[in-house]
Amino acid sequence: MQLSAVTATPVLALDGVTKRYGRRTALNSVSMQVSPGVTGLLGPNGSGKSTLIKSVMGLLRIQAGTIEVLGFKLPRELKAIRDHVGYLPEDDCYISGLTGIESVRFMARLSGMNPREGLRRSHEVLDFADIGQERYRNVETYSTGMRQKLKFAQAIVHDPQLLILDEPTSGLDPEQRNSMLRKIRNLAQRHGKSILISTHILHDVRSVCQQVVIMAVGQVRLIDSLENLSRPAQQGVNIAVERRQSATVEIPYPDAVLLQQTLQDSQLQSVVRRDGSLWVADVNDADRSRLWDAAGRCGVHIRQMSSAKNSLDEIFFQAVQEASRASA
């Protein structure tokens, strides 16, 4: 784990950022740099993700520290930042009384486009966001998923360099979610946009992000590339076993536990992971045959064996637990 990452010129640089709401500290001296690409901002509820995003957008006034976005300093160059950043808020928000196309055009005009160009561009991004004829309907009649797509169209209408998406897939059905993730990948890979995604859904991070920032109790606990994080600290293999015995509250994965005990007798070090798989350390060819023997002896069926990788879930839970322990 490390608290500094990145190589290229950062799109986002925070130094000692502190934000307090009364006596509660939402951001506690946060320092980090985010490089171009797609970055996942992870953290449990109340970890300070939304506060961090609102601070970056200049919506909140911080008590200490400095924030630089795309080289522009807050609060002096707030307008320049908002010119170059697209923001999709987590909250359900819309301008009452407007239709979908009018809403996007309004945002385009607030970003400085002339009326005609704003209208043309709005149709273009609404097509991209998969909003069809519904664009002529009042936004108050939209479903949650439609509103999410509309917010996405509003966020990209001025072609921002950096996109900040707060829970972009919430309220979307699985098909729409995949479509949204495809669009995010498309914007990053084909159009060179830098994207910061705040989410609870680890699958979304795995599928689109190159870097991960994990926050807990108002602090950044970890920043690194997904590739580095997936590399295990110790060599070994990951084993998935067939579930045959019924689980209990005390022992959720009895087959894996049984195999682990048998491997201990064979002098092989192993750990049952949170997802029910088994990690076996430092396996060479001789160990491999002992492993198969042990499985045969205890009657456990091995379904899959692969080189061990850290799972994002493990890393996330570990970081959050460490933070909770430290704060306690």
Partner 1 sequence: MPLHDVGYRAWDGAISSRLLRWWVIAIVGVQLSFRSSWLSRTLIVSWIPAIMVGALFFAYEQSIVTQQVREPIAMIVAMAGGSSELVETVMRNPEDARQQVWASLIMSFFRYPQAIVMLLVVGIVAPRLISYDLRNRGYLLYFSRPIRIWEYMLGKISIIWFFLALITTIPALCLYVVGVLLSPQVDVLWLTWDLPLRILAATTVLILPVASVALACSAMTIESRYAAFSWFALWVVGWVSYSVLSMGEWEEHLRMRGPPRRGELPDIIDIYSRWELLSPYHVLGRTQQWVFGLYPADRTIWPHLILLATVTFVSLWFVHRKLRSRLHS
Nearer to partner 1, 49 or 273 (CB): 49
Nearer to partner 1, 161 or 310 (CB): 161
Reduced DSSP (H G I as helix, E B as strand, rest coil) percent helix, strand, coil of the chain, to 5: 40, 25, 35
Please, where are the H alpha helices in 209-245? 226-230
**Is 3 a residue that touches partner 1 (CB under 8 A)?**
no
Site residues for partner 1, window 216-255 (CB under 8 A)?
Answer: none
**Is 112 a residue that touches partner 1 (CB under 8 A)?**
yes
Strands (E), the chain: 12-21, 24-34, 38-42, 64-69, 72-73, 85-88, 162-166, 194-199, 211-216, 219-225, 236-241, 270-272, 278-281, 302-307
Site residues for partner 1, window 35-94 (CB under 8 A)?
Answer: 54, 57, 59-61, 78-80, 82-83, 85-87, 89, 91-94
Q: How far is the CB of 137 from partner 1 (least distance, A)?
A: 15
Instruction: Report whether the peptide linkage leading into residue 160 is cis, meaning its omega lies within 30 degrees of zero.
Output: no
**Is 181 a residue that touches partner 1 (CB under 8 A)?**
no
Q: How far is the CB of 112 from partner 1 (least distance, A)?
A: 3
Q: Residue 47 corresponds to which amino acid?
A: S
How long is the chain? 328
Encoded one letter per residue, x for contact with partner 1 by CB under 8 A and - for no contact, window 188-207 reads: --xx----------------
Rounded Cα distance between 225 and 258, Å, is 35
**Which stretches of the chain bind partner 1, using CB under 8 A?**
54, 57, 59-61, 78-80, 82-83, 85-87, 89, 91-98, 102, 106-107, 109-114, 117, 121, 124-125, 127-128, 132, 154-156, 158-159, 183, 186-187, 190-191
